[in-house]
Amino acid sequence: MPTSTGSPTIRAAGTATAATAPPAVRVRGLTRRYGETTVLDGLDLDVEHGTVHALLGPNGAGKTTTVRIVSTLLDPHGGTAHVAGYDVVRDAARARRRLGLVGQHAAVDEILGGRDNLVMFGRLSHLGTRDARRRADELLDRFDLADAADRPVGTYSGGMRRRLDLAAGLVLDPEVLLLDEPTTGLDPGGRREVWQAVRELVAGGTAVLLTTQYLEEVDQLASQVSVLAQGRLVARGTPDELKASIGQDRLDVVVRAETDLPAARAALDAVGTDVETDVATRRVTATVVDRVAALTHVVRTLDDARVPVDDVALRRPTLDEAFLHLTGVPADAPAGTSARSASDSPAAATAEEASR
Ligand SMILES: Nc1ncnc2c1ncn2[C@@H]1O[C@H](COP(=O)(O)OP(=O)(O)OP(=O)(O)O)[C@@H](O)[C@H]1O
Ligand SMILES: [Mg+2]
């Protein structure tokens, strides 16, 4: 459990003054039900121009539901969402004109080539044929797909398809881009390519609402992150604030011989807390605050005592630990697994206090 001092710093919602332009996306008190089940329960969220706001959460948290409402594809049952100041229900056409959407599941046609797909998207967005072709070629160049432009998309790799999806979402050069898990299923190289493309867009002023299950993606791209579990906000802050709320670094030491475990334990006891010994893997771990000092002390102490060590590692909490900590659900748990309720979370409690 996080302590209250470890919770993310929470900024009160709605800090923009009347004189400033509306944020790219503003969501207030958003609710949505499916049958008897409430899948979004009073969500507040702002995405500022030229930034990425990440919506992080396990399966079934309500990420896609949020994206679908903001993209005008699904009506909310309560609350409001605005895109560039336009209400997505009452002013849906104007809101839509400012939006690009890259859905969780690829929307491109497998039989057509990349170029024809993009031209088709342009035509569907009411571009004339010539403009649609010109835009398609620009985007193919930008996403490094020109060489494959005329091959059926069915022959593309996962990374190429995701880049084509991104390109399709950008046909109209939108002010606001909604990306629903843009890198799920990609290998590390494909993921980095998508990240680079997103960074370039944001540098050009595009606002991005990004859903993801990857903490690393949040780290790479987002300046703000909201963590959802079962339709409710459980934490919000910058990626660093989020990490601080998740917990401190762990120092792991694996000794060669089981008989050396007590010596390793003593070394870690001197610099850390929550020291745990796992005899089966000959591993001792501890939570540490000053990571470099702790590592130096442990390596020196064991070296002086001539204790053979197989591995020493400092590690941040893993994604699984992060999810478990913030949402009460492991990252790979099946949808619908019970999450800790938001009111139990100190971070969410702080959020509520801050916005009062
Ligand atoms: N059309 C629908 N009918 C009934 N329930 C739905 C429908 N769409 C979504 N849900 C439910 O709403 C909840 C939130 O779904 P949503 O797709 O928003 O989650 P998500 O955070 O995007 O999850 P994932 O990480 O799996 O994509 C889930 O419990 C899901 O089963
Ligand atoms: Mg989803």
Q: Where in the chain is the domain with CATH 3.30.70.100?
A: 248-315
E strands, the chain, where?
Answer: 25-34, 37-47, 52-56, 78-83, 86-87, 99-102, 176-180, 207-212, 224-229, 232-237, 249-255, 273-278, 283-288, 309-315
- Mean pLDDT computed over 334-353: 38
Q: What is the SS3 assignment for 139?
A: helix
- With contact defined as beta carbons under 8 Å apart, do 27 and 46 qualify? yes
- Mean pLDDT computed over 95-110: 86
Ligand 1, atom 10, lies closest to the CA of 34
pLDDT for the residue numbered 124 = 85
For the cut 80, the answer to whether the pLDDT of residue 248 exceeds it is no
Give the tens place of pLDDT for each residue, 265-286: 999 999 998 899 999 999 999 9
pLDDT for the residue numbered 27 = 97
Q: What residues does ligand 1 touch, defined as CB less than 6 Å away?
A: 34, 39, 57, 59-65, 104, 335-336
| Angle at 84 (CA atoms; ends 355, 177), nearest 5 degrees | 100
pLDDT band for position 104 (50/70/90)? Answer: confident
Q: Where in the chain is the domain with CATH 3.40.50.300?
A: 4-98+174-245
Which residues in 275-307 are b (16+ Cβ under 10 Å) and which e? bebeeeebbbbbbbeebeebbebbeebbeeeeb
Of 164-178, 189-203, 219-233, 337-351, minimum mean pLDDT range: 337-351
Fold of domain 248-315: Alpha-Beta Plaits (3.30.70)
Superfamily of domain 4-98+174-245: P-loop containing nucleotide triphosphate hydrolases (3.40.50.300)
For the cut 50, the answer to whether the pLDDT of residue 17 exceeds it is no
Residues with Cβ–ion distance below 5 A, ligand 2: 63-64, 104
Among all bound ligands, the one having the nearest atom to the CA of 56 is 1
In ligand 1, the atom with minimum distance to the C-alpha of 67 is 18
Q: pTM value?
A: 0.74
pLDDT for the residue numbered 4 = 39
Higher per-residue pLDDT: 232 or 125: 232
pLDDT for the residue numbered 224 = 95
Among all bound ligands, the one having the nearest atom to the CA of 55 is 1
In ligand 1, the atom with minimum distance to the C-alpha of 32 is 12
Locus of tokens 């790219």: 24
pLDDT for the residue numbered 107 = 77
pLDDT for the residue numbered 321 = 63
Higher per-residue pLDDT: 272 or 5: 272
pLDDT for the residue numbered 266 = 96
Give the tens place of pLDDT for each residue, 45-81: 999 999 999 999 888 999 999 999 999 999 999 999 9
